[in-house]
Structure 1
């Protein structure tokens, strides 16, 4: 039903075929062919269409799209965006790794297949649940005891309403970039409240309109091992030993 949806969306956005063709960087005659069902767009063009109309590719080809939009269930309302993925030789989805240095580039290239192809990729056999997964390297101490440099593996969340309060997640937004926080929904407000596990950091809100992607944290990878816990007896012994050393130093003077 792409042909019907494309014509419907173009009229909703008050675009002529020429104007839409310019946005998609294709010939006007192709727009006519798509709307009449005489041709099917390439994947790259389909993704550009989804971006122009702020929809996911799935919604763009959904036969009930006009009814969904009238009911307020569009991607603009739920903040679903076009998601590019890569697959291995067996057609299984990869887990792309977004290093911290690539964070800025990710905001510009998250829907660009070429950018995604350049990212490091891996698989985790222990993660077998259905869904799309991506890994992000985090920096800073706002989520201690998870240290800076940890890689968070997240499952893509299509609709933010599915997130339960207190869920740790990677939030990709135009306002804050890529951050790892606990998410809390704001009732009757178009925003999410982000909390750090480190009490030194104050919670803050991010507008849903600025949220590009949400990834529910499912695992983390770190090369930093936690410090061994010190028992109360051991700590008391260390303090007494320190006091004795201080006392001895004073006596030697």
Structure 2
């Protein structure tokens, strides 16, 4: 039976130290004694009183759910400021996705690269900070300061005219409800499909419509429950120059598509 790990004690200590306050100063701000704060921080108080939870939540401007369930020391300074500004993942509702990230020595978010050999493992480890820490990490100039970015490899011809084998840089989508129709995304799916690069439309029926850039590939739908993450397209890197479509190439793609259909039948 899996049990939910509780981070309350570590979070209270982390948030106090982040504010560079002593236990005496923090206890005074909370309106409690230093010995009680020490007991809360050290985990001696296994079941904090509701008034203590509410008091800490109001003081640190972070929801009780996040104080209990999220290991705040693993969140970047940018994300912490977003929580304090009122974009708390739990206060805003369950449709917002919690994202595990890694940070560098300056507490800035890394951009992880998901190599082809790690694609299958990503489905199991996308929420595991240890798995993410094992991935290649780097930074690129001129990326927006807000948002979390990752780079994904692409395979197949469904993303043409973006060349096959391009490396796609995407921004994490936390709230799917605000995603515009036909937004180009890397979609992380459960099961054998792993990643797909599609135009995404969230439908009212609890499904997501996935459309390829290459019109030779038919659109299809998947249940929302089958989608683990959405990463909206930002840019891509490739060693190839996209070729202009011509009649011969279109015929070639049609033959290739027919061959694929015959192999599947």
Q: Which residue of the partner structure matches residue 47 of structure 2?
A: 32
Please state if 1:170 is matched with 2:193: no
Q: Which residue of the partner structure matches residue 198 of structure 1?
A: 214
Please state if 1:88 is matched with 2:104: yes
Tell me, in whole angstroms, the C-alpha distance in 2 between the residues paired with 1:85 and 1:107: 15
Q: Which residue of the partner structure matches residue 185 of structure 1?
A: 202
SS at match of 1:219: strand
Q: Which residue of the partner structure matches residue 17 of structure 2?
A: none
TM-score, normalized by length of structure 1? 0.63
C-alpha spacing 1:193/1:229, structure 2 compared with 1 (3 Å): closer
Q: Which residue of the partner structure matches residue 148 of structure 1?
A: 164
C-alpha spacing 1:228/1:189, structure 2 compared with 1 (3 Å): closer
Map residues 50-61 of structure 1 onto 2, 5 A cutoff. Answer: none
Please state if 1:46 is matched with 2:69: yes
TM-score, normalized by length of structure 2? 0.60
Q: Which residue of the partner structure matches residue 7 of structure 1?
A: none
| 1:215 pairs with one of 231, 247, 255 | 231
RMSD: 4.0
Give the greater-gyration-radius structure (CA).
1
Tell me, in whole angstroms, the C-alpha distance in 1 between the residues paired with 2:197 and 2:158: 8
Q: Is the 8 A contact 1:100 1:139 kept in 2?
A: no
Tell me, in whole angstroms, the C-alpha distance in 2 between the residues paired with 1:122 and 1:183: 27
Tell me, in whole angstroms, the C-alpha distance in 2 between the residues paired with 1:219 and 1:65: 27
C-alpha spacing 1:65/1:164, structure 2 compared with 1 (3 Å): closer
Q: Is the 8 A contact 2:97 2:175 kept in 1?
A: no
C-alpha spacing 1:159/1:165, structure 2 compared with 1 (3 Å): same
State the aligned residue count: 194
SS at match of 2:47: helix
> How far did 1:88 drift?
1.9
Gaps of 5+ in 2: 8-43, 57-65, 72-79, 249-265
Gaps of 5+ in 1: 1-18, 49-56, 236-253
SS at match of 1:108: helix
Q: Is the 8 A contact 1:140 1:147 kept in 2?
A: no
